[in-house]
Amino acid sequence: MAKAFPQPLRTAFRLMGKRFLPSYPFEEAYFLSYARQFREALRMPLVLLGGINRLDTVRTALAEGFEFVAMGRALLREPDLVRRWQKGDVTEGLCVHCNKCIPTIYRGTHCVLVPPDQRPGHQ
């Protein structure tokens, strides 16, 4: 992530990053077990989010009473992911959860693995 920041943030991040951003292994739908407790306790529409990368996760969430799912990094990596699933290719999204999209918020949020000419909005 440090590499993705411009200087002087890069150096600051290298020196301090690990202190305030510990590393966690990726887990599909990493909030699901917590969100289920909210689903159980609340009578209001809820949106599940966090690490949704697979169609079966979306189906599980909807079957369990979540009104919607929200997908962040998966759609930055593959903006047409939902359309791909609709067309029948239901393999999981291509996002590798590297989080290198996070520092791009300062210069037009994007996935660093998507070539510039394939990013949404490219003319």
Ligand X SMILES: Cc1cc2nc3c(=O)[nH]c(=O)nc-3n(C[C@H](O)[C@H](O)[C@H](O)COP(=O)(O)O)c2cc1C
32 is an interface residue for ligand X by CB under 6 A? no
* Total residues interacting with ligand X, rule: CB under 6 A: 12
In DSSP terms, which residues pair with 69 in a beta bridge? 48
Q: How far is the CB of 50 from ligand X (least distance, A)?
A: 5
In DSSP terms, which residues pair with 74 in a beta bridge? none
79 is an interface residue for ligand X by CB under 6 A? no
Strand ranges, E, within 14-118: 47-49, 68-70
Site stretch for ligand X (CB under 6 A), options 17-25, 39-47, 66-74, 81-89 = 66-74
Give whichever of 31 and 64 is closer to ligand X, judged by the CB atom: 31
User: Which stretch of DSSP H or E encloses residue 31?
Assistant: none
52 is an interface residue for ligand X by CB under 6 A? yes
Percent of the chain as helix, strand, coil, to the nearest 5? 45, 5, 50
Where do contacts with ligand X occur on this chain (CB under 6 A)? Answer: 49-52, 71-74, 101-102, 105, 109
